[in-house]
Each structure stands twice: as C-alpha cells, then as structure tokens.
C-alpha cells in the first residue's frame, strides 16, 4: 500500500488542480499520507493562481498503479475522464459536483457529491467538519477554483453556498474577489500563442451519450471573432481528433466571459441532433447561445437528452 494519490480529471482546470492540493493537504492534517498529483499540466489561468499564491504545481502522472493501490478522485468520477489505469487501483475517496456516470467500485468508499458550483466549495466544508485550519495559500487556490468554475459567480451553476464560501476564503487569502477574479480569468484567455491542437484539448471531456462518443471542449475568451478567424484550422484539428480517438462528434464551446454567451462549433456526425439539443438553428455552421456559459449545466444535459431521448 503506497501513499494516497489525489488527482482531478484529465486536461485539468483550476478546480481539478486546486481540489487535489486542498484535499491532499486536508488528508495530511488528518494523519493520512497523501500527495496531490495531476493528469496534465496547469493551464494559464491555473498557473496564474499557483504563481500568485506561491504554490508549486502537482507533478504530472500518466499512471498510478505503479506507485500506489489507493487513490482519491477530485472533480470527476467518470472513468474516461480519469487516469488510464483507474481499474487497477482502489478508489478510496471521491469529492465531486458533476453527474455520476460510468463509475463503480468493488469496495465501499467515501463519496461526497453536492450540486454546487465547485468541488472546493465541498472541500471547504470538509475542513470545517474536521476542524482543520485552512492556510492562506490553500484558501487562495480554493477561492480561485470557485471563481473559475462559476465565472466569478455568473454561471448558472453558482449557488449561494459558493458565494458564501468564496467570500470567506478570500478573507483568509487576503484578496479582493472582483479584482483578483477578473485578473485570473483574463489570464486564462490568452489563446494567441496556442496551436489549434492545444486549444481543443485545454479543457475537454469525453462523454458517452446514446451510444455516441462525444468530446466536449470549452474555451473561454474575450474575443470570439478573433478566435473564429482560426476556424478552418480548428475544424481540421477537431476532425483529426475524432478520427484518432473514435469520437463521433467533437463539440467546441467558445465562451465569451464578458457577455456570458457561447458559440458552439461542432464537427462530426448527427450535427442536426446537436442543434436540436439547444433548440437552435445553425448560422454559418455555428450555434450562438446567449446566456450559456456552463458545460456541466447548460451543454451536457441538453445533449444527453437529445442523444438518449
């Protein structure tokens, strides 16, 4: 039995990285030997938070069974979003705020899932329940995750709990929520130096819906037209990814964080079903969806209903 390895999903976002760090620290304080690791390198938004609060990024792992037999899953539970050898280890903990699907274990485990905007909102409760003090740097990463997942409280996934917890964490971290939050979100929208292949994999998750394999990627920006100037190259990269990974459909969600509007660019089969999912019509091959900012709450559920209905 090795140490408990704690990690978020593939293509980690700020919540995936921060929840691994915050949960591993909590376990250490409770006497459990635990280490935060990651299934990918931090994106620019996450790196901004890590730098600001002077925390190192977790080491990246591709497999875990070679060094432990017990793991904790943060911000996900679905096998296709997790480490490649997840079936070879025992899942001891899950802390998540997404749907429960494609997940089963041989043994009982600690599973904490709540319909809130961010995994770190739940982890904050775990600190309180166990009477463990949250260091300023950890609080900073936790509030960064809440800001990221809720788009500074603009996302429909945001709950009153997220706002209350973020406010308390910001006090511990010594930051102004709005000033820091906008700076961090803008740091994650610098896309000009990234290739199309990198862009479509920055924040992407795989789903199975009605027998179809979907890849849904989300990119946040403050300039949608500028990003769409690269449309041909983006479509080529998405088509190549479909072919290489047996995806039926690749859905790219381009979200304007200033206007809270998303433009959807799908590539693959059954594109009419994608449009029907959102009760929308294509405009030059694009779906423009005002008010849509959340993949979890506003993109995945309607697609699931459309493909499985």
Annotated binding site for Mn(2+): 9, 13, 15, 75, 97, 149
Q: For residue 170, what are the contacts with CB-CB under 8 A and spacing of at least 6? A: 139, 143, 176, 177, 180
Residue ranges of the binding site: 9, 13, 15, 75, 97, 149
Residues in the chain: 309
Burial class (CB in 10 A: 0-12, 13-18, 19+), 275: middle
Q: Which of 62, 80, 82 is nearest to 72 (CA)?
A: 82
Strand order in the sheet with 4-7: 59-60, 34-38, 4-7, 70-74, 90-96, 110-113
Q: For residue 283, what are the contacts with CB-CB under 8 A and spacing of at least 6? A: none
Q: How far from chain centre, in Å, is Cα 263?
A: 19
- Tell me how far apart the terminal alpha carbons of the chain are, to the nearest angstrom: 44
Q: How many Cα atoms are found within 13 Å in the side-chain-facing hemisphere of 91?
A: 25
């Amino acid at each position: 039995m090795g140490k408990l390895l704690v990690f978020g999903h593939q293509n980690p976002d700020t919540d995936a990285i921060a929840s691994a760090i915050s949960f591993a620290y909590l376990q250490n304080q409770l006497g459990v030997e635990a280490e935060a690791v990651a299934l990918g390198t931090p994106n620019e938004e996450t790196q901004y938070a890590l730098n600001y609060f002077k925390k190192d990024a977790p080491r990246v792992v591709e497999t875990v069974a070679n060094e432990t037999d017990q793991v904790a899953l943060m911000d996900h539970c679905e096998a296709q979003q997790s480490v490649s050898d997840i079936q070879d280890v025992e899942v001891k903990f899950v802390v998540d705020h997404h749907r429960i699907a494609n997940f089963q274990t041989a043994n009982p485990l600690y599973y904490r899932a709540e319909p809130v905007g961010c995994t770190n909102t739940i982890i904050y409760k775990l600190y309180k329940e166990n009477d463990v003090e949250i260091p300023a740097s950890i609080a900073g990463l936790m509030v960064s995750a809440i800001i990221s997942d809720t788009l500074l409280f603009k996302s429909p996934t945001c709950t009153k709990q997220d706002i209350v917890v973020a406010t308390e964490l910001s006090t511990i971290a010594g930051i102004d929520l709005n000033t820091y939050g906008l700076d961090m979100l803008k740091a994650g929208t610098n896309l000009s130096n990234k290739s199309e292949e990198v862009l479509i994999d920055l924040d992407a998750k795989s789903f199975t819906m009605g027998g179809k394999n979907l890849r849904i990627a989300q990119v946040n920006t403050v300039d949608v037209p500028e990003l769409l100037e690269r449309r041909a190259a983006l479509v080529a990269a998405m088509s190549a990814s479909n072919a290489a990974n047996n995806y039926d459909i690749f859905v790219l969600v381009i979200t304007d964080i200033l206007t809270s509007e998303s433009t959807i660019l799908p590539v693959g089969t059954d594109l009419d079903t994608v449009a029907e999912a959102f009760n929308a019509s294509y405009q030059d091959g694009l779906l423009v969806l005002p008010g849509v900012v959340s993949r979890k709450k506003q993109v995945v559920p309607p697609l699931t209903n459309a493909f499985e209905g």
